[in-house]
Structure formats: structure tokens, C-alpha cells
Amino acid sequence: MVALYDSVHQFEPLMPSDVAQQPLLAQAHDLGRAALQLAGTPVPAGLRALLRSMNSYHSNRIEGQHTKPFEIEQALRRDFSANRELATRQRLAVAHIEAEVALEARYVGIEGALRLYSAQAIADLHHELFGRLTPEDLNAGNADEIIPGALRTRDVSVGQHIAPAFTALPKFLQRWADVYANTRRGEAALVALAAAHHRLGWIHPFVDGNGRVMRLHTHTMLSALGYTGGLWSPLRGFARSTDRYYALLAAADEARRGDLDGRGNLSQRALVDWIGYVLSVCQDQVAFMAGMLKLGDLERRVAACLAYEEHTLRSGVRMAALRPLHYLFVTDIALARGEFKAMTGLAERTAGSMLKALLDRGLLTSETPQGPVRFGLPLHALRFYFPTLWPEAEADDEPDRRNAGH
């Protein structure tokens, strides 16, 4: 019979030694500077909303539960598939989006970040996500009943890893919280949140949903510390390197590899590799989004979208919309319809027709039939505005391209 983990020393080290941390701290320093600079970039609310959908897509994809971008878009309009399995995935996608919004509002600043390191917060994350699903969604295909926010009440194994005894979960979670909540310095806090991601998975506090909770925790922690501004998340990077993500998680479960591998029960070298991977993923996502948000490039991309609408789709959209559209993007304000039309330089009637076309195509949004307009970011415009940001959404839009002009 295999002995279960029941003593907190069995998942040490929770942080690498001071010497092993040095290159990680340098990496975290560079990440922090770049992330804070990006987080202050003004962007329209529509972009942040789209990025939440993208985060949801990628978290589900990591779990092997694929939901296409347009299916998420339909679900956000409460237009769920008649196929029960697909509808469940759609509701899970919406639950992730709504949970992100709620958690980012609840855990703010250093105080919020410190509260995230607690058993109560981990249960809160699980409940915030899974509490939005129907009982049928929760238990479809699951051997155990999933109770939102409830720690598991039986012993489990995950791959080669035998998780701690369920009776020992409170003390493992308390040790996890005590160590990481005491790591408050900027660079060290980034190293800590990467380590915490792994060690929370090692504890495996829930019967199901641990991976999603781990990723929500990391995402929410980065937001609370002011590093994301809603403009990037490591979830995209994890999903684009899923095999490596899982391989490094599994490697960091391994026992110490001899006297040169730290002084804890688990491998320090593998934990260092995992942390370095997480920091690299974050750096890649920050650099990618910084490139996407270069305003000079953006004006050119908006122009390309308008040219396609005008000359290929003949949708009623005109290049004359470039100036007000670009203005709405960089200011993230709502503009009265009359002001928008005036900025186009077109005659009143022509400008009115184009305004309607922009709204029909989702390139503008408005809360009321005659209300002010904001910059819109429909999936079909992504390939122009933010190429390679979400290529799966561009693939979904292929029928629109094939039907262009028909």
C-alpha cells in the first residue's frame, strides 16, 4: 500500500533557495517593468472583454474541452447549442469569463493579493467558477459529485502523482498560504506566484477543477498586483505550450534528485525550471501584446479593415470612418453620433448610412438605438486589428471571407 502525503514538509521546497532564486529574480524584474508599462496603455473596453473570452477559450483548451470562439460569442448572448455536451462547454466558458470579472473586482492591490493566499480564497475561486454551472453540467461525465467550493473528501492520484491525504488538506493549504503570503517584494512576489501555481496543483484540493482554479489564481494574482490591466494573461501562453506546461508540472512533482538538488523532499531543480517557464510565458505575452498595441501600427490595421469592408464586402462601411474609429480606440470614450458623423467629413445622409453599417458589422457599439457609440471589436475584425492574437477566431471567420461579395 502506498503511503499518502500527510505532513507539510513533504512538499518542500515551496520556494527555491536564495542562490537558486537569483536568475529568476532578474527575469522577474524584467517582466515586472515591461508588464507595468503595458498595463497603463489605454484601450477600449471591448478589447478587454474579447481578451476575457480568449482566456476562457484557452483555459478550456488546456483541459481538452474545446469551444470555438464563435460558440463562446453565441453563449455570451445566451444562445446555447441544442447539443447538450457543447452547451455544457459553452456554459463553462461563460462561467470562466464571469468569474474573471468577479474575482478581479474582489481581489485588488497588495491587500487583495495577500488574501488570495488562503484556503478561503482558493475555495472562493472554485465556487465562483463552478457555482455558475447547472447541477447537470457539474456532474456530466464525473464519477464524483462536484460541490462548488468544497474540498475533496477522498484520496486521489493524478498521473504518477498521489495527492496528499484528504484529511491533511487544511494543513497543506495553510502552509501554502503562510509561505507565499509572506513573499511581498516585487520580483519575489512574481517568483512566488509561479511557485504557488505548481504547489497548489500538487495539493490538488478539489475532486475536479484544480487546473482551472490554479490558472484563475495566477491570473487574478497578476491582476491584483497591477501587472495586467486586463490586457494579457499567461493562459494564452500556457495553451500554446500545453505539452510543456504539463511536462514541467509533472517534473516538479518529483522527489529530490540527490544532495545537489536542494534540501526539501521535492526537486528544487524542477521547481526552478517550472518557475522559469511561467516567467518566460508571461514575458512572451507582455511583449506580444505590447507589439499589438503600437498605435501607429493600429491605424494602419484599422485602415486595412475598412478597405476590406468597403471594396471586398461592400458592406456600406467606408474608409472615411478611419479618423473617428482610431480616435475612439485611443481615447476609449463614447462619442455622440453627430460628432462621429462630423469627423468623417461625409454628407449627413451618407455618414448616417455608414454609421448604421458600422453598427451592423459590430465595428461600433451602442447601448441604445440613438445613444453614443464606442469602438467595437467583433471577431471578424481580429485578423486586421490584432493579427495572430487569436488565430482560432480567424479560422472561425473563414466562411465570411468565402462569402465576401456574394
CA distance 375 to 324: 9
- Say if residue 158 carries a ligand binding annotation: yes
- Say if residue 215 carries a ligand binding annotation: yes
What are the residue numbers of the active site? Answer: 204
CB 274 within 8 A of CB 198: yes
Between CA 179 and CA 188, with CA 185 as vertex, the angle to 5 degrees is 65
- Say if residue 65 carries a ligand binding annotation: no
- Say if residue 214 carries a ligand binding annotation: yes
CB atoms within 10 A of CB 143: 7
Report the candidate in 309, 295, 302 with the shortest Cα–Cα distance to residue 323: 302
Residue 161 pairs with which residues in a beta bridge?
158
CB atoms within 10 A of CB 151: 18
Residue 340 CB partners (closer than 8 Å, separation 6+)? 324, 328, 355, 364, 373
CA distance 320 to 310: 10
- Say if residue 201 carries a ligand binding annotation: no
Residue 244 CB partners (closer than 8 Å, separation 6+)? 277
- Say if residue 308 carries a ligand binding annotation: no
- Say if residue 43 carries a ligand binding annotation: no
CA distance 195 to 187: 13
- Say if residue 221 carries a ligand binding annotation: no
Task: Note the helical H segments in 107-158.
Answer: 109-116, 119-130, 135-139
- Say if residue 291 carries a ligand binding annotation: no
- Say if residue 66 carries a ligand binding annotation: no
- Say if residue 120 carries a ligand binding annotation: no
- Say if residue 278 carries a ligand binding annotation: no
List, as residue ranges, the binding site for ATP. 158-161, 208-215, 245-246
List, as residue ranges, the binding site. 158-161, 208-215, 245-246
